[in-house]
Amino acid sequence: MSESIEPSTSTTTTTTTTSSTTTPTPPAAKNTGFSRNEATVGITCFLGTTAPYKGLLKQRYSDFIVNEVDLDDNVVSLTSLTYEDPTTPKQDATATVETETTTTTESESESSKPINTEEEIIKFNKLKELVGEEQMEEFKAFFNGPSKTEITSTYKFKENKSKEERTNLHKLIKDFDLVTETKDNRVVVSAGCNTRKRELARNVWGGDKPKFVQFVLHKENKELLDAIGILSNVMHVNQRSFSFAGTKDKRGVTSQRVTVYRQSPENIVAANQRLFSSIRVGGDFKYVDKHLMLGDLNGNRFTVVIRDVSGDDELIAESVAQLNHTGFINYYGLQRFGTGSVSTNQVGLEVIKGNWENAVMLILGPREGENEDFIKARTKYKENGDADALLQALPKYMVSERKLLMVLKRDKKGFYNAINSLPRTLRMLYPHSYQSYIWNKMASERITKFGFKEVVVGDLVAVSKNNNNKQQQQEKQKDEKNEEEGSGDVVEMPVEDDGGDDKDDYQVTHVTEDDIKNKRYTIDQVVLPMPGSNIVYPSNEIGQRYKEVMLEDGVDEAKINHNKTKVFHLKGSYRKIISRPINLEYKIYRYDSAKIPLALSDLDRLNGKEEPQDLPDGKYKALRLSFSLPSSSYATMVYRELLKQPTNVLQQQQQFNHEKDNNNNNEEDNNTKNLKRKLSEFANNDGDTTKKEQNNEKEETTITEERDTKRSSSIPL
């Protein structure tokens, strides 16, 4: 029987601090590539006290089901593979059409007037800045006039001898889907076939209808970009027309929202006829005004089957109860630090220190556990600096390396330019990774020093601005001394949230003696900073340890702020030290075969499949967990805390299962080969470097540094 766990309520009791346990030494494993030890990235503590036990994660990819949680805390599910337009009347259709036709005839003069879209109005305003109001109005009349559909129709802007200004004008006019050329220093606009396409699209879509459609993408054992690439081919739509809130793990069954530009729901569901069975699209459909952006989610709902569990039922129940009650340390998982022997935080340290050559050589140099041919090519480059030779040896999916080498081909000593040539989200991954490493180390020290039950003087806590305002009103009734004691240092900065309130509604303050006395805060509010220029450190021993640990690495506050190199400037942010699984449920199964599914996906339910059955006399035991996590927490840390097993050991088990899957599943290997756009080995798993590169111009101005940090931590295994 499935069991729900009542969520625990945190208190600020002053009971004796409970010590955390430390990570056991992982057993030796076969060399299946490089395996990073948790301690090297600051992960050393557990919260619970239950005994460790073993289990197999992702023995089947269908053992890992992820449903996105949207900004309204709704769990996203594939609810239908068809679409019925709710605005289309089902009766008296003929009468309706006749009425509409009559109305159109009577108001023909009104309907014939052009209605410019919001997007076109914005472009007209930009044009006004370039050429002035008079020429803008003339062009607008041409654009909206009946003659624009004629191939021979043209509009000529005034002579402009500035090549730069003409170039900017060409770019802007082409955004109107018109054809331009330069004659006698004048930009000449002609309608051509582009206008006919634009006119047709605008008339078909309708002026008042929101220009994006949101739908649900359901995929199995497939990279998100591969799935979208296939979908774009089937629908004959540019891949850039699709947007999403976050990537989901390949090895699993996932459902998430996707938006597409000006494509009808009917066209979307029609794609199911030509898609692989591992990809399905459908409802809940919505017309929306804005496309999804990375980070537009509150988290994910996980349904995970852990097979061949060694613990008895009592141990499992106790470990689940402890996990629900105490939560887990909100560490950045191993995924944050890359899969190679050279971790991203090592590169990030050199970037922060401004040692550009060292940073480049760490990325391009030989590394343990890699293909032997790659090791040889990397070693030769380290010896002779022949960028072209290494470029030819490395495959195209090694995004970071190839971009660096393209710059170094032109300038052997252009190390800074090489690093700076990477897309912003990729190049910032390195210093962000170093920030994460420092955060992990400080979280371990905070838990080891002060435990995980009590708030202590000097801690930093995240406080809702609204709650803080109420508190300040109450403080006015106290004497001046208590007012001063309770005020603390208040800093308004983004907090990596628990998926609840808007992060902009938080501010950070130091805990005082008066706060402790009045039990004003709980451990769930305690945060630690990611080093940067706009943060404050705890005012207790942990704050001092930040400075000591960074100085040991050769980093002081001046370097972390990067005054000289603003490209890599780090503002910093805050992250809660304790996270908790939300709405945690579990069920223990007995089963006889690993081929028996123990969890249903959205598509399974649409197809009417029955719930898995427990076999009382089954040979094996499995634990099925269901829980939600905020987008700033790592699912690997949940399994780590539950099983009391280091994640590098769990990942070695996963690698074995992954290789088995690859050997047994070749459904579309040849068909999708041309769609593979793998990340560099350094890219974290919740951002996709290639997608970011393709959408660089569109997204760089809208994605903040704090969102970069957030989206890199919405992590399935």
Active-site residue numbers?
249
79: helix, strand or coil: coil
Q: Residues for the chain: how many in total?
A: 717
Structure token pair of residue 591 = 């089963």
Cis before 284 (ω within 30): yes
- Of the candidates 278, 325, 560, the one whose C-alpha atom is nearest the C-alpha of residue 435 is 560
What whole-number distance in Å separates Cα of residue 453 and Cα of residue 111?
A: 68
Residue type, 660: K
Structure token pair of residue 32 = 């299946």
What whole-number distance in Å separates Cα of residue 172 and Cα of residue 129?
A: 11
What whole-number distance in Å separates Cα of residue 459 and Cα of residue 449?
A: 12
**Contact 228/676 with Cβ under 8 angstroms?**
no
What whole-number distance in Å separates Cα of residue 300 and Cα of residue 74?
A: 10
In Å, how far from its chain's centre is CA 658?
23
Structure token pair of residue 130 = 């370039």
DSSP state of 714: -
**Cβ count within 10 A of residue 619:** 10
**Contact 638/584 with Cβ under 8 angstroms?**
no
- Of the candidates 482, 485, 536, 486, the one whose C-alpha atom is nearest the C-alpha of residue 507 is 536
**Cβ count within 10 A of residue 505:** 17
Beta bridge partners of 307: 56
- Of the candidates 498, 149, 570, 496, the one whose C-alpha atom is nearest the C-alpha of residue 348 is 570
Contacts by residues 344-347 (CB-CB < 8 Å, ≥ 24 positions apart): 344/429, 344/430, 344/433, 344/682, 344/684, 345/41, 345/430, 345/433, 345/434, 345/436, 345/437, 347/430, 347/433, 347/682
Helix (H) or strand (E) holding 562: none
Structure token pair of residue 346 = 């090592």
What whole-number distance in Å separates Cα of residue 36 and Cα of residue 27?
A: 13
DSSP state of 566: G
What whole-number distance in Å separates Cα of residue 369 and Cα of residue 375?
A: 9
What whole-number distance in Å separates Cα of residue 215 and Cα of residue 87?
A: 18
What whole-number distance in Å separates Cα of residue 484 and Cα of residue 506?
A: 21
What whole-number distance in Å separates Cα of residue 270 and Cα of residue 411?
A: 51
Contacts by residues 538-544 (CB-CB < 8 Å, ≥ 24 positions apart): 538/446, 538/458, 538/459, 538/460, 538/510, 539/457, 539/458, 539/489, 539/510, 540/456, 540/457, 540/458, 540/459, 541/449, 541/458, 542/442, 542/445, 542/446, 542/449, 542/458, 543/458
